[in-house]
Amino acid sequence: MFKKLLVPLDGSQASESVMPQVISVAKPSNAIVILFQAHEPIEAPVRDVMGEDIAAKLDTVTREDTQSYLNKVAGDLASQGIKAETVLAKGKPAEAIIQYATTHAIDLIIMATHGRSGISRWAFGSVAEKVLRQSPVPLLLRPVAGSRV
């Protein structure tokens, strides 16, 4: 029986494609769904070029937009009788997901994988693959339509 599900989302339709699986796991077990997104801080060289004021405003707007997005998804789950919480973390997504799962008694991580391969996987990395390799808890990965997993 699952009590806490961690659902990393990046704002894309691909990441939201896991919501049917989230609902099918959360409803029967009455689990709490933690909707999670991590943002890397703007790096110092970029902040220097932008200027601190602009970088700070961009960071604030990004965080507000992300929180609004997570709140909307939480509201959609609540309308189906599923309790959802939101977490907006700082850091590299894969590392932040693993750290949160480790320190917050998460029972299952449910996330989508874009299924990149070859050069695109090397160039962009794969958050799902990093989480799969390092996760201290079980992971349910859902391939995005058209991906090669």
Asked if the model's pLDDT at residue 117 lies above 60, the reply is no
Q: What are phi and psi of 15, to 5 degrees?
A: -70, -30
Query: Which of the pair, 15 or 121, is modelled with greater confidence?
Result: 15
- Rounded to two decimals, what is the model's pTM? 0.86
- From the number of C-beta atoms within 10 Å of its C-beta (0-12, 13-18, 19+), residue 61 rates as exposed
State residue 24's pLDDT score: 96
Give per-residue pLDDT as tens, 33-82.
Answer: 999 999 888 788 887 888 888 888 888 898 999 999 999 999 999 999 99
Structure confidence by residue, pLDDT tens digits, 99-108: 999 999 999 9
Structural domains in the chain, sorted by start: 4-143 (3.40.50.620)
